[in-house]
A and B are shown apart, each in its own frame.
Chain A
Amino acid sequence: MSARYGMVIDLDRCTGCGSCMIACASENNVPSLPQATARTGLTPLLVRKVSNGEDGERRRAAFIPIMCAHCEHDTPCVKVCPQQAVEVDKATGIVMQMPQRCLGCRYCMTACPYHARYFNWWDPAWPKGMEKSLNPGVAVRMRGVVEKCNLCHARLHAAEEKAAAAGKREIDPADYEPACAEACPTGAIRFGNLADPDDPVSKEARSPEAFRLLAELGTEPKLYYKSKEAWVRALAESNSARNSEVQHG
């Protein structure tokens, strides 16, 4: 049975701590380069602070983690890639980025409606000796390629290997959880199989409080958000980037 991995992020539980951002970078051997800025850094998962635009006591804030939404239908980045370096994995629904094929033309970055893709401007580098702290399961990407969230694909590989070693065809869902969901201290980021109607995440995605950013584009993103706050929902439905306090490339 093919899966459709996705996430539901409960914005009412996100405190904007940023644990998910660091856990993501650590898991995926994303370097931290002194020359990187808010426009040129690699942040496959970026938490944006948004507000209701009011002043004084009426001001309210929320935090919206933005990452690749793993669009299911007419995936914009897949359609524009001249190198077939991006594809939607039929078995999992994960939008895969293959850095070995990427030429760095950045069409996909332009096409991505969520601005969730990042260009590798520099050779990855770490202070002397720190390469020993890199995650052995993930290869380091070279400069000149585009990167994005792949739902910690190395963890999926590990879960598949474990299942294969046990003679099973399907992975144990408990063996596969992306680093951001694992790191979230409040359980705001929840990961699951949207194709399984009994999966708690799948149920949450179908709840009336769930919504998707830019759903009107019809790309069927598999990243859902939840909030009971009317202004957050209204903001998401209008255009989150327009009201964002953070301007990010």
Chain B
Amino acid sequence: MKLTRRDLLAWSAGAAAGLIVTPIPWKILDDTSIWSQNWPWIPQPARVPVEIRQSHCTLCPKGCGLRVRMAAGWAVGVAGMKTHPTSHGALCPLGFGAHQLNWHPQRLREVRHRGNASSWNEAHAAFARASSEGPVVIIDGYPGRAASSVYESFAEKNHGEYRVFRGTELRSLNPYESWTGVPVTSLGYDLENTQTLISFGAPLLDGWGTPGYVTRLWSEKSGGVDDPQLRIIQIEPSLSRTAARARQWLRIHEGSESALASGLARVLMEQNLVPAHPPIPAITISDAAARTGWSEDAIQELARTLVSRPPALAIAANENPTVAALNVLLGSVGARGGIVRKEKISHAYVSASAAISTARAVLIDSSVPWDFAPQTDAEIFRFAAWNGGPTKADWLLPAPGFLEELTDVPTAPALPVETYAVAPALVKTTFELQSAAQFLVGIDSSLTPPEKTIHDRCADLFKNRSGTLHAPESIAIAKIESVQQLKEQLWKGAVWVGEASPPGGLKCELKEWPPEPIPATAAGWADSWQAPVLPPLASKLYIESNLRDAPERRNA
């Protein structure tokens, strides 16, 4: 049979038509799609079992409870611990990407001396030499930890000085420290019992304090409720997130918060709305109205609102003595729903921002924000897990990152009760690093290592038989049978919560109405984030959506 060109064309057309009704082209299409999704350079997660561990976030002093998913020794996911007594399952948005931080390209992996690679031995020798030649200042951003006691002991033994960097929540308590003599670390805001909360720019619903503590209160008592038990009045020049969700947003001229606080105080006194009569502020109501851009009636109305549903509490965005004086006038200092004193009184710390007169060296703990630069000519030893860019530090020393070291988690700033928890080292490390406390113990072996201090603190908690252990069910500490049992629970993520102090115990009398401070900015969670880098997933907030403006000083 002769094969013609027509036959060939007919066969080809028939084959092509027939092929379509066979699975072959579709299978090829499907497989191509699958193959192209499995190139060897595309990372695939390890097929390993996942284990859940409970711990605490140590990236800032707020110590939120964590539920960490672990696989093959690495953290593969982070969520909030819903049973946590203060954070209530909430984390700051960046916390949800914290498990990626240890792999951040800016991770500090080697000792650096003035930009050049160095070694731990050289760093040890340099610091030992410096501390023998003159006083050493040690700056801590997270006081109250076992590591902090190492710093205090070293500074004391070497005629140095231990200083504490204060976040905005602690700075807002500064005036009460100077008026009552009680250190800021022993003061807190009793928001659980507050009914009217007037915020002078504090980002209460945007990461202020322990994020879950405030948002849970607001959600339960105020959010979407017609007659809220907690009324938040936000005084702010712009419509912030807190202003958007507050019961009332009152717009004010930039930097006139103190004038408003003084104007409110004047109304409260002139109209006898409060029993106490501290010194009268110099500002008149009409001056306050002119400064704030409000009418006098509006200021009077707000003053009446403040006293209509007590307890009322005023919170400043930063250190602001006039707002603090308003609280004194409202009777909120040492009262239920106001500023309260914790059960245990710690001693006062020197603020990190105070001028350094004489020092041979300054050691900065990794908990101090990267952009904090001490004003000194001394040699600076800077511990950090991540390299945040240009720095004045002479030495950069790689510190443990997220969940890479055993540390304890003392009370968060501004909480009204004491808490204690432990964050064990859950994650493996792949290079040599040291915490500042380990570094100092390596230089002076007579110092008590942080691990030993944590064990001693557990023993003290057991001995005192006071407070409750949340594990997650609440157990009175008196029912715990041994120190070992207490430690096991703490290592598994339990939290000890102390007894609430009875109201009172804070005496505060003003001799004169305080002068207006220089306006300072508020700090939400993005600003209180102490790591100098953000988790890569933060780009979802800052770049891939327009939900937020990226913090300028951070490196995403």
Contact = CB atoms under 8 A, between A and B. Distances in A.
Asked if chains A and B come from one complex, the reply is: yes
Contact of B80 (A21, A42, A101, A183): A183
B259 to A, nearest CB: 18
B539 interface: yes
B299 to A, nearest CB: 15
B44 A140 contact: yes
B450 to A, nearest CB: 26
Interface string A1-19: 0000000001011011111
Contact of A19 (B33, B71, B96): B96
B430 to A, nearest CB: 8
A104 B395 CA distance: 51
Task: Report the interface size class on chain A.
Answer: 35 or more
The interface residues of chain A, by DSSP majority, are classed as loop
B75 A22 contact: no
Given A26-B97, A136-B45, A185 B544 contact: no
Nearest to A42: B544
Given A16-B244, A37-B544, A138-B45, A127 B77 contact: no
Contacts of B205: 15
Given A36-B543, A136-B48, A185-B212, A100 B244 contact: no
A78 B426 CA distance: 44
B555 to A, nearest CB: 12
Nearest to B251: A57
A219 to B, nearest CB: 24
Contacts of A200: none
B350 interface: no
A63 B34 CA distance: 38
B105 A10 contact: no
A80 interface: no
Task: Report the interface size class on chain B.
Answer: 35 or more
Contact of A61 (B94, B206, B239): B239
A193 to B, nearest CB: 20
A133 B36 contact: no
Contacts of B544: 32, 36-38, 41-43
Nearest to B105: A127
A228 B224 contact: yes
Interface in B82-113: 88-94, 96-97, 99-100, 102-105
B513 interface: no
Contact of B547 (A21, A33, A138, A183): A21
Contact of B42 (A38, A59, A123): A123
A160 B212 CA distance: 31
A29 interface: yes
B545 A248 contact: yes
Interface in A123-167: 123-142, 144-145
Given A22-B540, A125-B43, A179-B79, 5 more contacts: A37-B543, A102-B33, A129-B430, A134-B76, A139-B44
Interface of A: 10, 12-13, 15-19, 21-23, 25-27, 29-30, 32-34, 36-38, 41-43, 46-49, 51, 56-57, 59-63, 99-103, 123-142, 144-145, 179, 182-183, 185-188, 226-228, 245-248
